[in-house]
Amino acid sequence: MYTADKVDDAEVLAKLPNPVGYHILIAVPELSDTTKGGVFIPDKLKREEETASVVGYVIKLGSECYVDKNKFPNGPYCAEGDFIVFRSYSGTRFKVLGKEFRLINDDTVEAVVEDPRGYSRA
């Protein structure tokens, strides 16, 4: 249901905010227009799924991400360029030139995944 595109649009990248503190800037993979079986997905359903998405692409880490050694004794959960699984509905959602992004807390990351295709919320 998701496309695994990373953000490669220079105009969008130039407009992205720099996360501050312990926030992580992630891109939410775009939903395809059809299901695997070829059924068209209505815009309303696509918006609902994007809102509740649980997979994202890490673009930038704030300067205080993972610096608390008591909270993160084994180091960072993720790095820039990782695809991650995070809690549904978490973070601050916003769009830049039609593409959805989120700012989430560093402790919201639940897992790192190699390829986000095939992941969806239950």
Pick the CATH number of 10-113 from 3.40.640.10, 3.30.70.1070, 3.60.10.10, 2.30.33.40: 2.30.33.40
Q: Which of 96, 15, 26 is nearest to 60 (CA)?
A: 26
The more confident residue out of 46 and 63 is 63
Q: Considering only CA atoms, which of 72, 70, 63, 73 is closest in space to residue 109?
A: 72
**Average predicted confidence (pLDDT) for the chain:** 81
If you ran DSSP here, which 8-state letter would residue 77 be given? S
pLDDT, mean of residues 6-23 = 86
Which of 36-50, 64-78, 96-110 is the least confident region?
A: 36-50
Whether residue 29 is predicted with pLDDT greater than 50 in this model: the reply is yes
Instruction: Give the pLDDT confidence score for residue 76 in this predicted structure.
Output: 97
**Once rounded to an integer, what is the mean pLDDT over residues 76-85?**
95
C-alpha separations of 66 from 48, 60, 80 in Å: 31, 13, 13
Q: Given pLDDT bands bounded at 50, 70 and 90, which one contains residue 51?
A: very low
What is the pTM (predicted TM-score) of this model? 0.78
- Average pLDDT score over residue span 47-70: 82
Q: Quick one: 16 exposed, middle or buried, by C-beta within 10 A (0-12, 13-18, 19+)?
A: middle
